[in-house]
Amino acid sequence: MGKIPASLRQSKLPLSLLKPSPSSSPKPSKNAPNPRLHRNPNRKNLPKTPPLPNKSFFHSPDLPQAIRTFDSLVSSKSFPLNQISQNALLQSFCSISGSSPSDSLSLLRHMSSSSPSFRPDHSSFHILLTHACSQPFDPSPTHIAPVHQVLDLMSSSTYRPNKASIDLAVRALCAAGREDDACRLFERWPAKYSHSPDRFTYNFLVRRLCRTREVSTVYKFIDSVRNSGGPVPDIVTYTILIDCVTQSKNLREATRLLTILNESGFKPDTYLYNTIMKGHCILNQGGEVIEVYRQMKENNVEPDLVTFNTLVFGLSKAGRVSEARNFLDKMAQMGHFPDTVTYTSLMNGMCKKGEALKAVELLKEMESKGCEPNECTYNTLLHGLCKSRDMEKSLELYGVMKEGKMKLESASCAVLMRALCREEKVAEAYEVFDYAVESKSLTDVVAYSALDRSLKWLKKMKGSS
Amino acid sequence: MVVGARLRKAAAENPKKVAGLIDLVNLPSTLRDFVGQSQISQLGCFIKVWSYIKAHKLQDPRNKNVVNCDDKLKSILLGKPRVELLELPNLIKLHFPKVTK
């Protein structure tokens, strides 16, 4: 035990908190708490990328052909050529797969020379910049050149690169898996363009690095940005870092970061506390969450739904189910109504204690309160019922799941097969195998391994008895 | 959940074991006649045999855990007239080369 329950892996909230192992969930689970990061105000200042014209004008990444198409559009005058529509044309050329950044740059040059109504503006440059940055990774040293070309072109125009430009560039580079290029661009930005990228871009990049690189690389990046006059870590950065180190179960580093955070005079907020709670859960100290909650109240930090879900999860994990249960009422009083995730966490705690029947009662309670159970909930219950050897109820629940075409998770599937084998219902175990494969819950390799394992186990049991 | 974790671990740490299940193998003539292909993986063969059993309703109606083999099935399962489902994976495994450790 002590792993994050498989059955909880796909649910929405605590999972964002109680981070699954990266391999497990197909949905990219959102890193805890920082919705703030996504709201980059720069985006609003940004001249909006105009919507694409309904008809796609360019069909091939071939430059001469694109130029011909553009010229015929200019001469035919059937199409209202204003700034926005011409930017849209540029965008449409860039979005053709296989169009190269140098071609799109040439197209821009051609457009500005042959169409009097077109003057490249921030939008146009940003389209080119994003295009250059989204090129897939290529180890040759010149592959960053198109990005600098666009930036140099911008610098020489009246539309100088601004904070939005670096933000777009960093995000596009990261999306293309070119984090190293993004870091280099970011570090050199303040010196080159005499303004510092903002902290939204900074935190985005830090978070991205935390996910893809070693912690030491992240620290190096933070240091070199600080030295080059860029942004310094703020509370969001620290939250990201703490989240990152607790995921690798590095308690000492997390404590050190917390100390630095306090010394720098940042006031912990709900997100930070949530992250700390999540950390305790990951480090198998589920019981500690209550202490964090106490601190939150002391510092007058308002808990949110995530806080409570983490609390319930942590306490359930530590086996303190009745305390977890009490929080259900407490959170409702504070206006945060328990959701599917809350109930599922609690059920998981109950099942672990072998109180699967109580968990089933809780299912009824949650349904009566209008909270819909999801696949996770059912998988948790199935797992619990099988473990507590309540075959009749397990099969009933399995029937419900089959009717609802719900997917089985590998853990609950394996436990169910094992339970069936225990009663020598081998044919039924085969049937579960069929369902798991048919419903595409598991790959056939995983389903077969589970089946094979249960059968071997049964044979061993038979042999020894 | 422990079992699940172990499974994932097995898949991650023991690629050979997984490969043993899914690698295509050139079949001996007896098996080739049964599956109608010259190559199949151990897993694919298991699924084929199991669906053959289901399609021809070969499970003993009194005890579903036992299969009454027809002649075709007998030819690949050591000629046994009755086979327990419990033994099925092992019997199929016999046709495939052992995973070298």
What is d(CA A456, CA A462) in angstroms, rounded to the nearest whole number? 10
SS3 content of chain B, % helix, strand, coil (to 5): 55, 10, 35
Q: Does B5 touch chain A (CB under 8 A)?
A: yes
Nearest chain B CA: its distance from A350 CA (Å): 15
What is d(CA B76, CA B52) in angstroms, rounded to the nearest whole number? 12
Residue in this structure with the two tokens 């100390």, named with its chain if needed: A259
Q: Which residue of A has its CA nearest to B63?
A: A427
Beta carbons of A278 and A19 less than 8 angstroms apart: yes
- Which among A3, A426, A437 is the nearest to B65, CB-wise? A426
Q: Does B84 touch chain A (CB under 8 A)?
A: yes
Beta carbons of A258 and A243 less than 8 angstroms apart: no
- Which among A427, A448, A455 is the nearest to B21, CB-wise? A448
B8·A23 Cβ contact <8 A: yes
pLDDT at B14: 67
What is d(CA A449, CA A455) in angstroms, rounded to the nearest whole number? 10
Residue B16 pLDDT greater than 90, yes or no? no
Nearest chain B CA: its distance from A424 CA (Å): 8
Helix (H), strand (E), coil (C) string for A349-394? HHHHCCCHHHHHHHHHHHHHCCCCCCHHHHHHHHHHHHHCCCHHHH
Residues 6+ apart with CB under 8 A from A335: none
Residue in this structure with the two tokens 């994050």, named with its chain if needed: A4
Nearest chain A CA: its distance from B13 CA (Å): 13
pLDDT at A16: 36
What is d(CA A453, CA A463) in angstroms, rounded to the nearest whole number? 15
Strand partners, B84: B66
A411·B47 Cβ contact <8 A: no
- Which among B46, B59, B89 is the nearest to A427, CB-wise? B59
Terminal-to-terminal C-alpha distance of chain A: 28
Residues in chain A predicted with pLDDT less than 50, given as ranges, are 1-54
Q: What is the pTM of this model?
A: 0.71
Beta carbons of A310 and A281 less than 8 angstroms apart: yes
Residue in this structure with the two tokens 């440059």, named with its chain if needed: A125
A449·B47 Cβ contact <8 A: no
Q: Which residue of B has its CA nearest to A437?
A: B47
Nearest chain B CA: its distance from A426 CA (Å): 6
Choose, out of A376, A387, A448, A453, the residue to mutate when testing the contact with B (most B CBs < 10 Å).
A448
- Chain B positions in Cβ-Cβ contact with residue A428 (cut-off 8 Å): 64
**B66-68 and B39-40 strand pairing:** unpaired
Residues 6+ apart with CB under 8 A from A69: A57, A58
pLDDT at A90: 87
A414·B86 Cβ contact <8 A: no
Nearest chain A CA: its distance from B84 CA (Å): 9
What is d(CA A321, CA A312) in angstroms, rounded to the nearest whole number? 8
A455·B89 Cβ contact <8 A: yes
- Which among B1, B12, B43 is the nearest to A444, CB-wise? B43
Nearest to A325 by CA among A340, A345, A299, A341: A345
pLDDT digits (tens, 9 = 90+) for A236-294: 999 999 999 988 888 888 889 988 988 888 888 899 999 989 888 888 887 788 888 88
Question: Which residue type does A77 have?
Answer: K
Nearest chain B CA: its distance from A171 CA (Å): 32
A1·B7 Cβ contact <8 A: no
Burial of B44 (0-12, 13-18, 19+ CB in 10 A): middle
Q: Does B24 touch chain A (CB under 8 A)?
A: no
- Which among A23, A410, A455 is the nearest to B7, CB-wise? A410
- Chain B positions in Cβ-Cβ contact with residue A458 (cut-off 8 Å): 86
Beta carbons of A276 and A242 less than 8 angstroms apart: yes
Residue in this structure with the two tokens 């109950």, named with its chain if needed: A350
B65·A424 Cβ contact <8 A: yes
- What value does the CA radius of gyration of chain A take, rounded to a whole number of Å? 28
Beta carbons of A112 and A119 less than 8 angstroms apart: yes
- Top mean pLDDT of A231-245, B32-46, B54-68, B69-83 is at A231-245
B7·A459 Cβ contact <8 A: no
- Chain A positions in Cβ-Cβ contact with residue B46 (cut-off 8 Å): 448
SS3 content of chain A, % helix, strand, coil (to 5): 70, 0, 30
- Which among A6, A430, A451 is the nearest to B4, CB-wise? A6
Beta carbons of A385 and A378 less than 8 angstroms apart: no
Tokens of A208: 């991205």
What is d(CA B54, CA B85) in angstroms, rounded to the nearest whole number? 12
Widest CA span in chain B: 42
Beta carbons of A203 and A188 less than 8 angstroms apart: no
Nearest chain A CA: its distance from B8 CA (Å): 8
ipTM for this prediction:
0.81
Beta carbons of A296 and A303 less than 8 angstroms apart: yes
